[in-house]
């Protein structure tokens, strides 16, 4: 029997298991997927929890419900990957050998990377919303908060879902307005980037939104430490910002197992070919989703687009055919902007987000780089799509590669 | 592509002033770019960063991040900010003649 091993049954790993099981002959190929947790979290839903729109139950389902029959499931931590020996050791004592390995161990936050963040204020008046526990405790805090200065701080790039921090402040503006206390809250958006977003057109467009919503943008701020006693954040070049409520997006890193296996960069992300998704160092290893070091967004939509290219390339590798360099960095992100509206951006490695209609050129129903009610429904519909289509590896009505049709070049 | 004159030397730069042809770079050019960036004199500490960045770029094809400068280059982040005020990764890359570090998306 030949063996295909998938590490991580989150977005990317689950999609790959669902795509590959039906096409790899069960008499020839054994497929195993490993994860340490029984629960699958719909991470995009974490954004809505602090504002009481979703609760814990709205974003969790059993992982096994989404894994196809005929795939062996190992519920265990992964101790170490030994790429030279093509085998993986699990915490439960088992050693799994493989012919091909797909790594989809994702990324997670590391608040301990910022001195002071975990000292005193953590989950008192410092909350993340990138974990379920953070999002739920922030919801409890906000319920009783009487106002003051709320500072959202992106600690360093890259982070998964780079638009989520913007969505958070947009929703906060809406929510505080609904609570009748917007005048009691100052909102700061503090980022190491030179603007609201990385790509110029979108940065300008989204920057205007911050201004319109009376959210103060502080760019070029690289945090060195938190002073939880004086309630301020301090940058490397000694700018200081006081807060009453701090919502940081802590440093995002790949899983420690990548570091333990000596396979990652400084942030435990795995050097990966940006077009074929093959590991740069090992021919029989492929990487998908947040675990890669690709200069693309880390998002569920990206993992989905990657999955189509990876699917083809795994089959080609098995058939000893050259890999196709077809992944173009395509990302597609709905940005919830508050008051029942949303913005949509669609871009890749080379083309920044442009205005236009999506997915049908000239028709939509979604509008690119524009705020509409329809885009908000797109965002809310994404959860249904995620559970029912995306994870199952179904074809979506969107091409893996970005399409210029429907987009307008802006001079 | 804009062409820029540094002390009589004509070099191609991109829209943000990063060198287009790595081969144009030499230490004299680095000094001239540094002046434009508001750094009057490149000290030994500056050169340590610049040379480390160039070496990394040659080996890996990308300019090192601040985190890598700290972990592998042994240069404390605070010092980087003192040496290259207002954005060490970008400024040092520009002076080292490297393309703009890939900010992430
Ligand atoms: C607040 C927030 C909002 C977001 N919003 C959006 C959005 O609107 N749209 C969008 O497209 N994306 C969004 N995302 C991003 C999206 O959720 C991720 O990019 C996506 O889930 C990445 O998939 P993945 O397979 O790479 O990793 P994950 O889905 O995180 O899966 C990784 C899996 O690996 C397992 N694992 C890791 N290490 C080990 C180990 N050592 N042993 C055993 N198991 C291990 C984990 O348990 C996990 O199940 C958002 C994320 C957050 C946090």
> How large is the ipTM?
0.81
**B55 domain residue, yes or no:** yes
**B102 domain residue, yes or no:** no
Asked if residues A42 and A14 have their Cβ atoms less than 8 Å apart, the reply is no
> Does residue A169 share a domain with residue A145?
yes
> Does residue A283 share a domain with residue A154?
no
Average confidence (pLDDT) over A57-72? 98
Asked if residues A102 and A310 have their Cβ atoms less than 8 Å apart, the reply is yes
Instruction: Residue B3: count other Cβ atoms within 10 Å of its Cβ.
Output: 9
Asked if residues A16 and A6 have their Cβ atoms less than 8 Å apart, the reply is yes
Asked if residues A307 and A396 have their Cβ atoms less than 8 Å apart, the reply is no
Centre of ligand 1 from the C-alpha of residue A286, in Å: 17
The pTM of this model reads: 0.94
- By annotation, the residues of B acting in catalysis are 104
Asked if residues A314 and A20 have their Cβ atoms less than 8 Å apart, the reply is yes
How far is the C-alpha of A406 from the C-alpha of A368, rounded, in Å? 9
Domains identified in chain A, total number: 3
Instruction: Residue B16: count other Cβ atoms within 10 Å of its Cβ.
Output: 10
Which of A66, A74, A62 is CA-nearest to residue A3?
A74
Q: Is the pLDDT of residue A398 over 50?
A: yes
Average confidence (pLDDT) over A306-321? 98
CA of A108, closest atom in ligand 1: 30
Q: How far is B9 from chain A (nearest CA, A)?
A: 30
**B103 domain residue, yes or no:** no
| Angle at CA of residue A7, ends A73 and A268, nearest 5° | 155
Q: Which residues pair with A89 in a beta bridge?
A: A80, A95
Q: Is the pLDDT of residue A6 over 50?
A: yes
Q: How many residues does chain A have?
A: 411
Give the residue numbers spanning the domain of B63: 3-95
Centre of ligand 1 from the C-alpha of residue A137, in Å: 20
**A48 domain residue, yes or no:** yes
- The pLDDT confidence band at residue A282, using thresholds 50, 70 and 90, is very high
**A343 domain residue, yes or no:** yes
* Predicted pLDDT of residue B103: 57
* Predicted pLDDT of residue A173: 98
In chain B, % of residues over pLDDT 70: 95
**A327 domain residue, yes or no:** no
**A102 domain residue, yes or no:** yes
| A336 Cβ contact partners less than 8 Å away, ≥ 6 residues apart | A47, A167, A170, A171, A342, A376, A379
> Does residue A70 share a domain with residue A126?
no
Q: Which residues pair with A75 in a beta bridge?
A: A35
Q: Which of B60, B61, B103, B104 to mutate to test the interface with A (most CBs of A within 10 A)?
A: B104
Q: Is the pLDDT of residue A411 over 70?
A: no
> Does residue A130 share a domain with residue A248?
yes
Instruction: Residue A89: count other Cβ atoms within 10 Å of its Cβ.
Output: 18
> Does residue A199 share a domain with residue A135?
yes
Report the relative pairing of strands A78-82 and A87-90 from DSSP bridges.
antiparallel
Record the tokens describing residue B57, joined without a space: 């770029």
Q: Is the pLDDT of residue B1 over 80?
A: no
**B9 domain residue, yes or no:** yes
| A38 Cβ contact partners less than 8 Å away, ≥ 6 residues apart | A62, A63, A64, A75
Which of B41, B9, B14, B38 is CA-nearest to residue B99?
B14
Task: Provide the edge-to-edge strand list for the sheet that holds A29-35.
Answer: A71-75, A29-35, A2-7, A100-103, A285-287
Average confidence (pLDDT) over A94-102? 98
How far is the C-alpha of A230 from the C-alpha of A14, rounded, in Å? 45
DSSP state of A24: S
Which CATH number belongs to the domain containing residue A175 in this structure? 3.50.50.60
**B101 domain residue, yes or no:** no
**A401 domain residue, yes or no:** no
Contact: A266, B85; criterion CB under 8 Å: no
Chain CA centroid to CA A74, Å: 24
> Does residue A50 share a domain with residue A6?
yes
**B100 domain residue, yes or no:** no
Residues in B closer than 8 angstroms to A346, CB to CB, are none
Gyration radius (Cα) of chain B, Å: 13
| Angle at CA of residue A7, ends B104 and A163, nearest 5° | 25
DSSP state of A63: G
**Domain end (from A318, A341, A362):** A318
Give the residue numbers spanning the domain of A227: 110-252
Q: How far is B8 from chain A (nearest CA, A)?
A: 32
Helix and strand totals (H; E) in chain B: 5, 2
Record the tokens describing residue A371, joined without a space: 């705020």
**B104 domain residue, yes or no:** no
**A227 domain residue, yes or no:** yes
Contact: B105, A296; criterion CB under 8 Å: yes
* Chain A residue whose CA is closest to B65: A266
> Does residue A138 share a domain with residue A118?
yes
- The chain-wide mean pLDDT, for chain A, equals 96
Average confidence (pLDDT) over A168-176? 98
Q: What residues in chain B have their Cβ under 8 A from chain A's Cβ atoms?
A: 65-68, 71-72, 77-78, 80-81, 85-87, 102-105
Record the tokens describing residue A38, joined without a space: 């029984």
**A187 domain residue, yes or no:** yes
Q: Is the pLDDT of residue A232 over 70?
A: yes
pLDDT tens digits along B39-84: 999 999 999 999 999 999 998 888 888 888 898 889 999 999 999 9
Residues in A closer than 8 angstroms to B78, CB to CB, are 224, 236
Query: Which candidate from A157, A222, A265 shows the least CB-CB separation from B103?
Result: A157
**Domain end (from A233, A252, A271):** A252
Identify which of A92, A105, A131, A261 to mutate to test ligand 1's pocket (most ligand atoms within 8 A of the CB).
A105
Residues in B closer than 8 angstroms to A296, CB to CB, are 105
Ligand 1 shell residues, CB under 6 Å: A 8-13, 34-37, 43-44, 46-47, 77-78, 104-106, 129-130, 160-161, 164, 255, 257, 289-291, 298-301, 303, 333
> Does residue A118 share a domain with residue A104?
no
CA of A302, closest atom in ligand 1: 11
Record the tokens describing residue A272, joined without a space: 């990966």
The reply to whether A296 touches chain B by the CB within 8 Å rule is: yes
DSSP state of B1: -
| Angle at CA of residue A135, ends A75 and A41, nearest 5° | 30
**A169 domain residue, yes or no:** yes
Centre of ligand 1 from the C-alpha of residue A105, in Å: 8
**Domain end (from A237, A252, A267):** A252
Residues in B closer than 8 angstroms to A266, CB to CB, are 65, 67-68, 71-72
Identify which of A17, A92, A101, A106 to mutate to test ligand 1's pocket (most ligand atoms within 8 A of the CB).
A106
How far is the C-alpha of B39 from the C-alpha of B98, rounded, in Å? 17
The reply to whether A157 touches chain B by the CB within 8 Å rule is: yes
* Predicted pLDDT of residue A200: 84
Centre of ligand 1 from the C-alpha of residue A210, in Å: 27
> Does residue A50 share a domain with residue A116?
no
Domains identified in chain B, total number: 1
**B30 domain residue, yes or no:** yes
* Predicted pLDDT of residue A395: 83
């Amino acid at each position: 029997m030949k063996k295909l091993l998938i590490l991580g049954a989150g977005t990317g790993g689950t999609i790959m298991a669902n795509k590959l099981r039906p096409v790899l002959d069960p008499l020839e190929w054994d497929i195993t997927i490993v994860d340490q947790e029984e629960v699958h979290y719909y991470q995009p839903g974490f954004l809505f929890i602090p504002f009481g729109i979703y609760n814990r139950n709205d974003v969790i389902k059993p992982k096994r419900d989404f894994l196809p029959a005929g795939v062996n499931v190992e519920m265990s931590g992964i101790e170490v990957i030994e790429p030279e020996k093509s085998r993986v050791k699990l915490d439960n004592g088992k050693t799994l050998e493989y012919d091909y390995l797909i790594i989809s161990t994702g990324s997670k936050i590391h608040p301990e990377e910022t001195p002071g963040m975990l000292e005193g204020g953590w989950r008192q008046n410092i909350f993340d919303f990138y974990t379920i526990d953070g999002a739920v405790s922030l919801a409890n805090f906000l319920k009783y908060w009487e106002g003051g200065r709320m500072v959202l701080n992106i600690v360093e790039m890259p982070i998964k879902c780079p638009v989520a921090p913007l969505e958070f402040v947009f929703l906060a503006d809406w929510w505080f307005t609904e609570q009748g206390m917007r005048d009691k809250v100052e909102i700061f958006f503090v980022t190491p980037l030179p603007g609201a977003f990385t790509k110029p057109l979108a940065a300008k467009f989204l920057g205007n939104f911050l201004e319109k919503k009376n959210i103060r943008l502080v760019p070029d701020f690289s945090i060195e430490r938190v002073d939880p006693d004086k309630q301020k954040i301090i940058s490397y070049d000694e700018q200081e910002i006081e807060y009453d409520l701090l919502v940081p997006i802590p440093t995002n890193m790949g899983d420690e197992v990548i570091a333990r296996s000596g396979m990652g960069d400084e942030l435990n992300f795995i050097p990966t070919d940006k077009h074929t998704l093959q590991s740069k160092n090992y021919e029989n290893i492929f990487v998908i989703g947040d675990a890669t070091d690709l200069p693309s967004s880390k998002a569920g939509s990206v993992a989905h687009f990657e999955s189509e290219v990876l699917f083809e390339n795994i089959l080609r590798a098995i058939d000893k055919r050259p890999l196709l360099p077809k992944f173009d960095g395509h990302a597609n992100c709905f940005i919830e902007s508050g008051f029942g509206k949303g913005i949509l951006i669609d871009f890749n490695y080379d083309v920044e987000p442009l205005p236009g209609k999506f997915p049908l050129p000239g028709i939509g129903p979604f509008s690119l780089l524009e705020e509409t009610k329809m885009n908000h429904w797109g965002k809310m519909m994404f959860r249904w799509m995620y559970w029912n289509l995306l994870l199952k590896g179904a074809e979506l009505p969107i091409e893996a590669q970005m399409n210029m049709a429907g987009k307008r070049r802006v001079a | 592509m804009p062409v820029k004159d540094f002390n009589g030397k004509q070099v191609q730069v991109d829209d943000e002033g990063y060198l287009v042809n790595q081969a144009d770079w030499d230490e004299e050019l680095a000094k001239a770019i540094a002046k434009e960036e508001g750094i009057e004199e490149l000290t030994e500490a500056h050169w340590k960063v610049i040379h480390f960045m160039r070496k990394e770029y040659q080996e890996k094809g990308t300019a090192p991040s601040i985190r890598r400068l700290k972990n592998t280059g042994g240069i404390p982040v605070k010092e980087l900010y003192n040496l290259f005020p207002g954005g060490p990764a970008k400024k040092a890359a520009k002076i080292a003649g490297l393309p703009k570090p890939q900010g992430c998306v």
